Structure 1
């Protein structure tokens, strides 16, 4: 296993824009040495800024390294969450590390941009596990009250839940957006390339892509289910889906999501693991509802 960590750090150090040596060393210690406290790794990661008392440090090069580790090392997910919690608690450099500058933006642009390829990607299983890891990590940050620049990560969870449970592109037989993408391939000699590109795009909206989405969406119910159940207000940008109710967080939308998880649990085309997770989510959501009813009843008695 140590060789796996060594290979990971070596690969990160050879990136076109590698993170600073102290960040690489800190993450290596965090991953490879269980005796290294996350607090020590967090301080080492930004030690160059602390040493110079930089008033407004730019430590955003940490995020690509961090999420590469999150995606690759499933068993260390909690330890990486602890690392962020400790980084956030550092008071050095006028409390700049407590803001987690750039984290939310990095997650939006480079992390929550997942596309599932169930057929033609030789690394499909690894990418799906990485996607689960990322969602688990973000959900745990939210559950622990860790915010980047006071921005909660539940909006990412809302997007994943909507994408998984409200979109159903496999129900359509004509996709205008795909047709437009293929317009340039209109000659007979382009037939082979046309079919190749068409199949790649259709792969992304095949029902079996849910094998990649459902386990990720489940992380938000597992770690933030109670908070999601109680959420109200805007979910951000909306798009046409099977949900036709008000475009907000609501218990009605939660109930719709539960129905969709139940539907997924009966889809023969999906992996048994996916269907099992969907069934578990129905049960977990019911437990959250029951707990809320018991609590509400206790307040009125």
Structure 2
């Protein structure tokens, strides 16, 4: 399937074990076809399908469709991030001021991402006909999450830095280096370097870090300024040793941005 072919993608959604209804798919298709400045009105329309009570809601269906769109539509990444932001800011599911702002915590979003998306691309295949598509989906996913985090303000549910830390570990703390993971880590530095640096200074435990995890970092777990500096040095190394020129350039830009942040803070 052409990853940018909306018609083909819609047909795939219809074949899911728990498929969206024709009305739900029509609303999502209209959103995909619309310009980004119309996301607000489409957010209100889409949200109306997934109201409380939760036990009767089809919100799980929505997130599966949404997540698959993130994976497939590289050109739609900004719009998909904007849709999640607009949904979170709806006063209630119908976009009308009311006492019950159900979408404010993006119901089931973080659970869905952890259970179905977080580890989907942890071990990327080294060969196969879908390798390029799989790697691009991983970049799309991390770009989307980094954009959400960059726009989070004080909305804790949008803070995805723990997921950013996970992909930075996959990219920078394994040998041999997984060059596709380096490309997936790049958006976190491009959009969230300042806030990831703040999180590193704050310290504390890092999610999805277990004793059996393979790492070149060492025994000191968690967030730290020392680990941030290790990541920067690894980006510098990869910028000189990666086989792929695109990976070299991405690593170089990340290392330079991280260095600039350290210099500005000291």
Q: Write the mapping of 1:71-110 to structure 2, written as runs, cut at 5 A.
A: 71-92=71-92, 94-110=100-116
* In structure 1, distance between residues paired with 2:14 and 2:58: 19
* In structure 1, distance between residues paired with 2:150 and 2:28: 23
- Cα distance, 1:261–1:74 mapped onto 2, change above 3 Å: same
* In structure 2, distance between residues paired with 1:77 and 1:23: 20
Which shows bigger deviation, 124-133 or 54-63? 54-63
Aligned to 2:195: 227
Secondary structure of 1:266's counterpart equals helix
Aligned to 2:26: 25
Which shows bigger deviation, 248-257 or 233-242? 233-242
User: Which structure has the larger Rg over C-alpha atoms?
Assistant: 1
- Cα distance, 1:230–1:35 mapped onto 2, change above 3 Å: closer
Consecutive unaligned residues in structure 1, runs of 5 or more: 171-206, 294-301
Q: Do the aligned partners of 1:43 and 1:90 also contact (CA within 8 Å) in 2?
A: yes
Structure 1 residue 49: Cα displacement: 4.5
Secondary structure of 1:158's counterpart equals helix
Aligned to 1:6: 7
Which shows bigger deviation, 87-96 or 68-77? 87-96
Q: Post-superposition, which runs of at least 4 consecutive aligned residues in structure 1 deviate over 6 A? A: 146-149
Instruction: Give the paired residue count.
Output: 248
Aligned to 1:70: 70
* In structure 1, distance between residues paired with 2:26 and 2:117: 23
Q: Do the aligned partners of 1:141 and 1:147 also contact (CA within 8 Å) in 2?
A: no
Matched, 1:212 2:180: yes
Tell me the TM-score normalized by structure 2. 0.85
Consecutive unaligned residues in structure 2, runs of 5 or more: 94-99
Aligned to 1:292: 265
Cα RMSD of the aligned pairs, angstroms, is: 2.3
Residue by residue, what CA displacement relative to the aligned partner does 1:229-282 show, whole Å, maximum 9, x if unpaired? 1112211242352112632212111110011111112225x2111112111111
Q: Do the aligned partners of 1:30 and 1:36 also contact (CA within 8 Å) in 2?
A: no
Residue by residue, what CA displacement relative to the aligned partner does 1:66-89 show, whole Å, maximum 9, x if unpaired? 111111111211111111111111
* In structure 1, distance between residues paired with 2:214 and 2:50: 46
Secondary structure of 1:61's counterpart equals helix
Aligned to 1:175: none
Q: Do the aligned partners of 1:22 and 1:44 also contact (CA within 8 Å) in 2?
A: no
Match of 1:281 among 245, 254, 258: 254
Tell me the TM-score normalized by structure 1. 0.76
Q: Do the aligned partners of 1:63 and 1:103 also contact (CA within 8 Å) in 2?
A: yes
